[in-house]
Amino acid sequence: MRWPAEWEPHRATWLAWPHNPDTWPGHLEAARSEYVEIVRALQGREAIELVVADEAAEASVRATLAGAGVDSDAGIRFHAFPTNDVWLRDSGPIFVEDAGKLVALDFGFDSWGGKYPPWDLDAALGARISAAAGAPTREPGFVLEGGGIDGDGDGTILTTESCLLNPNRERPPRTRDQMEARLAEWLGARSVVWLAEGIAGDDTDGHIDDCARFVAPGVVVAARAETGPDAALLAENRSRLEEAGLEVHDLPMPPPHRIDGQWCPASYANFYLANGVVLVPVFGAATDARALDVLRDLLPEREVVPVACRTLVLGLGAIHCLSQQEPALDGDPR
């Protein structure tokens, strides 16, 4: 079993249209306007599999896309799968390679330790997406969120203690040895690099995709804050990455980002690598340009596309959290 790296070729990106007003209270339409830009940036690079509630929702989304100048018939396939929310990185399946064929792993989903009931529709989403993708489905039998892990496609996985070992995910509480064995069995991990915790305001208990990401085998970008609540913990995370023998490049953190008094977990590390492109969340801050330059230097073969996420991040996530890649495998008979 091998978990392909995000930078490997994709057949498609899976997305779900924002619909829950509780996720973006008072700002749902503004969040949708930013979300359209994710679709626009991906269109023509790979298939877009877009989850909507039903046929009426599909018609509404098509009208919204058309109004923004996006052709909803150009490489977009709609799926009428009702959801509680839209964070497919965590509720959707994780696609892996097994003997040259694509397999969908339908991990359990419990809304990040039971934080936002109900989550029954999201818990059922992995199996529905797997079936629509035409991939055989396997159920590992434990909760694992895609945002809580990052891999290099060659057996090294990054994660955080605060998330993967959190007692709200499983009783009795998990151990490192247990989780390393599970990651080896299901994702082909040969080495697991444990960071301490994630950034402030992250309701996932510290997902890795807000603080450290692979950009190539052995090469990592690590969020760095000079001041504020994240400075010390991100410095500790960076030290652990260096101790693991990884090449580490600093990615600045944006300044504190609040909407209506709500602290938002804004991070440039929540980028998404798609075919020929990297979609980078930006927040209208002076640090935006520096973060984009870091990624341009490290990913010269990709177009670096900034996507405004000033409102999307009110939902406590951004581009990576919203998306899930389906790899394209050579020789896959599907």
Question: Nearest Cα to 275, choosing from 72, 39, 7, 38?
Answer: 7
The Cα–Cα gap between 234 and 42 comes to 30
In three-state secondary structure terms, 115 is: coil
Biggest CA pair distance of the chain: 53
In three-state secondary structure terms, 78 is: strand
Tell me the torsion sign for CA atoms 160, 88, 282, 310: negative
Is-contact 322 86, C-beta < 8 A? yes
Q: Which residue has the tokens 């159920």?
A: 139
- Note if 321 is an active site residue: yes
**Cβ neighbours of 80 (radius 10 Å):** 13
**Cβ neighbours of 172 (radius 10 Å):** 7
Tokens of 67: 């109004």
C-alpha atoms less than 13 angstroms from C-alpha of 10 in its C-beta half-sphere: 25
Q: From the candidates 163, 211, 264, 321, which is the catalytic residue?
A: 321
Q: Which residue has the tokens 């079936």?
A: 131
Strand arrangement, sheet containing 149-151 = 149-151, 156-160, 191-195
Tell me the torsion sign for CA atoms 14, 20, 23, 24: positive
Q: Which residues are catalytic?
A: 321
